[in-house]
Chains A and B, each alone.
Chain A
Amino acid sequence: MNFSKLRNKLTAGAFALVLATVAGQAIAADSKKPIVIPTHNWSSQVVMAYVIGGIFESMGNNVDYKPADSQAVYEAIRLGDITISHEVWQSTFGKSFYNAMAKGGVIDAGTHAATTLEEMGVPQYVIDDNLCPGLPNWEALKNCKDVFASADSQGKGRWLEGPQSWHGDLMPVRVKALGLGDDYVVKFAGGADAIWAELASAKKEGRGIITFNWTPNFTDAEGFVFIEFPEYSDGCRVADGGDGACGSPKGWLKKAANYKFPKTHPAAYTAFSKMSFTTGQIGQMAALVDVDKLSHQDAAKKWLADNEAVWKSFTM
């Protein structure tokens, strides 16, 4: 333990020295105050929090983890209670992120390589069992509202959307704009847990279900097929002046930081801004917990040990 700390410190020291010589000027060392990393309630985010924390620690920084609500976290970053956020999903958190940025105090610390898709879709077996012929093309929905009906949908098919805080009225507007208003209703679930519970229950029965979901996610492992809506184009949404009859864009996955972070921890910030995980890597992190049933900390340790080449490049 002590030895490895010492070694880390030596490497970090040597690293700083080399940089200093190369740049020909002294580089301010990182503050020893802990970098506060938020943990939310889904696996890939928590594992990635420990992975990033592990990378920072390897550079000789102190790290602290704080549980936080995934929407309220941006206000906390703005005020400096939390230092970074490493999974800013475009369509779900984009609004909170930019609201906080507009008030001042949050900076954009780059984008991950992973592209995200946040869209309505069906579990793989709905396609395999051909419950609704023609899917994933959205036009197929016109003929199978009964397959997707639920107890309270009064005969219509149901789209199970995330809470209203995620995308407001996007889906109800889309249902109407696509001319599906007579056959489908949108129900807002209270959170991700509710969606997973419905998916698990539907799978047991082999019953049809349309839910909001995203990728990369742990559901990728079991298979989840996103419905192909008319392609997204700039300005097609109602908020941008369009009619709303389009699918979701491929989204970005950003990183956010408090505005003081680059000054207080220059080396850690440099590494953080270089950090970029791919869809596959995020999937691996989630799978270690969701499939292999490791604890989040153990999963992060294992990932760091297995992928040293990947993350070492961020720290150089």
Chain B
Amino acid sequence: MNFLSDHPKLVQFAGLLVVFFILQFAISPSDSNFLWRLPAFLAAVPEMLNSSVEYAMFEWMPIQTYNVEIEDYEESALLMEVTRSMSRSVLFCIEFIREILVGGQKTIVAFTSWDFVSENDWAYWPALPWTVVAGVGVTLGYALNGRWLAVLVGCATTYIAVFGQWEPAMETLSFVLIAAPASVLLGVILAVVAFKSRAFETALMPLLNVAQTMPHFSYLVPVTVFFGVGDHAGAIATVIFATPPMIRLTLLGLKGVSPEVLEAGEMNGCNKVQLMFKVLIPTARHDILVGVNQVIMQCLAMAVIASFIGAKGLGFNLLLALNQLRIGQALELGICIVLIAVVLDKLSLGWANKQIDYFADLSFVERHKYSLIMVAILVIGIVLAGIGSLIFKDGINYFYLIPHNQGLTTEDFWQSGVDWIVDNWYSNLQVFNVGLIVNVLIPMKNAYLSMPVAATFVLVMGIAYIVGGIRSSLVVGGLLLFIASTEWWDRALITAYMATFGVVVSATIGLITGSLCAQNRFATKAILLVCDTFQTFPSFIYLIPVIMLFGVTDTSVLIAVIIYATIPATRYTVEGLSNVPQSLQDAGSMSGVNRMQRWLQIELPLAFPHIMLGVNQTVVFALFMVIIGAMIGTDDLGQLILKSLSDEFGIGNGLMLGLCVAFIGLAVDQILRTWASERKKALGVA
């Protein structure tokens, strides 16, 4: 009896389950019964959305322009002209950086014309030799963070060059070098405005929530309609994807600045601008840097997806390699993507941590020694390339550019590895595969699909009420109502079933791995590195071997989901446990707890709120991957999002489907976040 009165929430929860099961059995499945499935009130919305976007883009405020080339007037619309001129400027920036790195003529065209370039063969910007780019990178690494960073940059650039991936890698780099700074800048600006204006923050937050949970597939079509196809479209989609975490983390950092620091700034007579740039932002640097790290990870994670809408480089080559089942080649490309991510991350970190020595009295040469070294490298590199053109007679100058078909390759090694695995493991795994599908996945899927809509609402809103009160319950209910009013409720249930399975397994694995690794400083570092690698490593690569082993089945999708969604669960567990104050652990040890007790009774409860945020991220990651699972073959919302790429009402369908996925994520987010903050309050760590 005591137990029950101590845990009132358990009683409520048991009651909720009883009601749920009564509804489950009482409601008869028939399409006309609105307790079983709600009628699709919103069925017409995608088409409306589509036609209004198309109206705004192609018909609103028509402009007639005279096109010299076809000698006729063309109808265009104001909005289209505006977005297209934005596209052109983004594209110009990307092409500019790209042509510095790999050469070209489009920047020259931008200032002259195609006719000019065609008539003058000299009008071609030559590429920098790879040795120069590598050398400058190494110098930069040394200048920013000493020897080890220089070694890292050197190894990474040499790997990329020697494996013959220089050109695609520089193409990818050029669009990341635009997308990443743009995301950081945009993120900081929006965060500063939100910090200054409460109203703006309230308006921004829901948008951020949706942007972070919406699968990137669903806004590819709108982006192409607004901005066209090409590297700029890839960059814009990447910015949409990468900015939200930057805003969030910057805002968190700014809010964390203690009032004493602010007052000190004011006392020293800072004006508002100085206060922001000299006091607030430098003080919030730690969180802002975490944001920059996330931006870089997100940008390179988008490298493959961006190639769907015209971004050139590693991502496109990777898809092409996978289509030929050349997994070894895809793996080499994937490693290049990870290397670019790591190098950019470390360089930006080094740059931000660099302290300016205001008192040093240096001569010109000392002050500019790194710039001078870089100039020297440029000269040496060009001379070397000149010598190279004399040595290598067969037309390939290895000191200038190693072409894609002349690099080293380890493809055969990986290919035979994959073949070996498929040959030897297939029949054993088949038993596991059939067992899992027949005994777990199919029953689970059927159970989800057999839920009457009323029972689902009662269950989910009930849990939200028990955890967070009436407000949470209403928010969650509203989100579900939106999904239930579309025609895709059943599809959403399938998405939910796969995400649930993925989250449960990922969270368990993450919690255990994280806990084990947190026991040791070295293991902690190692596991965080693994997390970073897997976050940027393109998941498409392991989809193919997984399909070869498990076929086009839900098992394959779920394995991909688990690989990806375990990352945040592990990362947050490690971080949460590492942040448990040493004094509390010592207090526990003095009270005579053993290791197991300490973990269960002290560390886990204290780290619980942070771990919950990790689980929250796991849900988001799992949903993302379930949607990408459409590339394997699913019958959930993801398949429809993929289909919207060719739909007549693609924009409307894509956006609505994306919102459905986002709302599943947000409903879970609402519950978990409230729970975590309640726990924080209870523990006094908020």
Contact = CB atoms under 8 A, between A and B. Distances in A.
B426 A204 contact: yes
A82 B310 CA distance: 10
Interface residues of A, number: 63
Interface stretch (B125-133, B185-193, B549-557): B549-557
B228 A81 contact: yes
Contact of B70 (A46, A67, A204, A264): A264
A139 interface: no
A278 interface: no
Contacts of B308: 67-69, 72
A90 interface: no
B310 A298 contact: no
Contacts of B324: 43, 196, 218, 289-290
A216 to B, nearest CB: 16
B485 to A, nearest CB: 23
A188 B115 CA distance: 49
Contacts of A72: 220-221, 224, 229, 308-309, 645-646, 650
Contacts of B316: 39, 41, 67
A190 interface: yes
A295 B326 CA distance: 12
A124 interface: no
Interface stretch (B467-475, B502-510, B634-642): B634-642
Interface residues of B, number: 72
Nearest to B648: A99
B38 interface: no
B135 interface: no
Contacts of B208: none
A66 interface: yes
A163 interface: yes
A68 B323 contact: no
Interface stretch (B18-26, B251-259, B432-440): B432-440
B225 interface: yes
A260 B70 contact: yes
A294 B326 CA distance: 13
A147 interface: no
Chain B CB within 10 Å, residue with most, of A96, A160, A165: A165
A268 B335 CA distance: 40
B635 to A, nearest CB: 7
B32 interface: no
B319 A164 contact: no
A150 B551 contact: yes
Contacts of A197: 325, 544, 547-548
B633 A41 contact: no
A193 B442 contact: no
A7 to B, nearest CB: 13
A69 B118 contact: no
Contact of A75 (B224, B319, B555, B640): B224
Interface in B532-576: 543-544, 547-555
Contacts of A95: 646
Interface string B169-183: 000000000000000
Contacts of B228: 76, 79, 81
A192 interface: yes
A222 interface: no
Contacts of B609: none
Interface string A132-152: 000000000000000000111
Contacts of B543: 193
A81 B72 CA distance: 19
Interface string B311-334: 110001001101111000000000
B148 interface: no
Interface string B382-409: 0000000000000000000000110000
A154 B551 contact: no
Contact of B635 (A188, A196, A200, A260): A188
B121 interface: yes
Nearest to B72: A263
B17 interface: no
A87 to B, nearest CB: 14
Given A72-B220, A163-B643, A46 B632 contact: no
Given A33-B114, A46-B320, A201 B548 contact: yes
Nearest to A82: B229
Contacts of B434: 151
A128 interface: no
B422 A42 contact: no
B121 A2 contact: yes
Given A198-B551, A295-B405, A190 B230 contact: no
Contacts of B632: 189-190, 194
Interface in A62-89: 62, 65-69, 71-73, 75-76, 79, 81-82
Contacts of B320: 41, 43, 46, 296
B361 interface: no
A41 B319 contact: yes
Contacts of A31: 69, 114
A201 B643 contact: no
A190 B631 contact: yes
Interface string A37-58: 0010111001000000000000
Nearest to B628: A190
Contacts of B639: 163-164, 188, 190
A250 interface: no
Interface in B421-474: 422-423, 426-427, 430, 433-434, 437-438, 441-442
Nearest to B434: A151
B243 interface: no
B12 interface: no
A84 B547 CA distance: 34
Chain A CB within 10 Å, residue with most, of B311, B316, B633, B642: B633
Nearest to B554: A152
B56 interface: no
B423 to A, nearest CB: 6
Nearest to A72: B645
A71 B645 contact: yes
A201 B549 contact: yes
Contact of B555 (A69, A151, A163, A260): A151
B442 A154 contact: yes
A188 to B, nearest CB: 5
A263 B426 CA distance: 57
A191 interface: yes
Interface in B647-665: 647-648, 650
B422 A193 contact: no
Contacts of B617: none
B429 to A, nearest CB: 10
Contacts of A99: 646, 648
B405 A194 contact: no
Interface string A179-196: 000000001111111101
A193 B323 contact: yes
A295 B639 CA distance: 32
B71 interface: yes
A42 B633 contact: no
Nearest to A290: B324
29 contacts: A32-B113, A32-B118, A41-B322, A43-B320, A75-B221, A75-B225, A81-B229, A150-B551, A152-B442, A163-B633, A163-B642, A190-B552, A190-B629, A190-B631, A190-B632, A193-B544, A194-B547, A196-B323, A197-B547, A198-B551, A200-B548, A201-B547, A201-B548, A205-B426, A260-B70, A263-B69, A289-B324, A290-B324, A298-B405
Closest 10 CB pairs of A and B: A71-B646, A32-B114, A263-B70, A197-B547, A190-B631, A201-B548, A165-B643, A81-B228, A67-B316, A76-B229
Given A67-B310, A197-B325, 5 more contacts: A33-B114, A67-B311, A72-B645, A200-B422, A204-B426
Interface of B: 67, 69-72, 113-115, 117-118, 121, 220-221, 224-225, 228-230, 307-312, 316, 319-320, 322-325, 404-405, 419, 422-423, 426-427, 430, 433-434, 437-438, 441-442, 543-544, 547-555, 629-635, 639-640, 642-643, 645-648, 650
